[in-house]
Amino acid sequence: MKPPAQADLWKIVAARREGILATVGQDGTPQLSNVYYVADPEARTIRVSTTTRRVKGRNLLRDPRAVLHVPGEDFFNFAVAQGTATTAIATTPGDAAIDELHAVHSALEAGEERPAFDRKMIEHGRMVVRISVTRLYGQVFHSRRPS
């Protein structure tokens, strides 16, 4: 069986908003978190909103390696996006990090009116995580699942 086409894998990633993010824990073991995300297949980027206080946020600030597992329509279809994360922490009302967080939250239908949104992002120590996808793999079956 040949590997699935990149376009088919990006279709899985782009069609969803929920996945499992793996980061590298302080002791080197994987740390998994359920996350909402926004994907941009053209830019090969995935964006997530988290806080500097959460384990995944602290892990990414320390070690930028990240992997997102996205389930497909059934158990046998999935995509895994692997890459390096960059982060931007909300510090000042209206700064670029808050603008990007607002875009992510709005795409996930969780955006609020500003400037209340800006204050909340700063108060909670929110940061946007941008995963630049360097490897995309998985499994795609267009017809029946394997037996």
* Structural domain boundaries in the chain: 6-89+127-139
Mean pLDDT of 52-66: 97
The residues, any chain, with a CB within 8 Å of residue 95's CB and separated by 6 or more, are none
Statement: the pTM of the whole predicted model exceeds 0.85: yes
pLDDT digits (tens, 9 = 90+) for 63-122: 999 999 999 999 999 999 999 999 999 999 989 999 999 999 999 998 789 999 999 999
pLDDT digits (tens, 9 = 90+) for 78-92: 999 999 999 999 999
CATH superfamily of the domain spanning 6-89+127-139: Electron Transport, Fmn-binding Protein; Chain A (2.30.110.10)
pLDDT digits (tens, 9 = 90+) for 3-46: 889 999 999 999 999 999 999 999 999 999 999 999 999 999 99
**Tell me, what's the pLDDT at 86?**
98
pLDDT digits (tens, 9 = 90+) for 125-146: 999 999 999 999 999 988 765 5
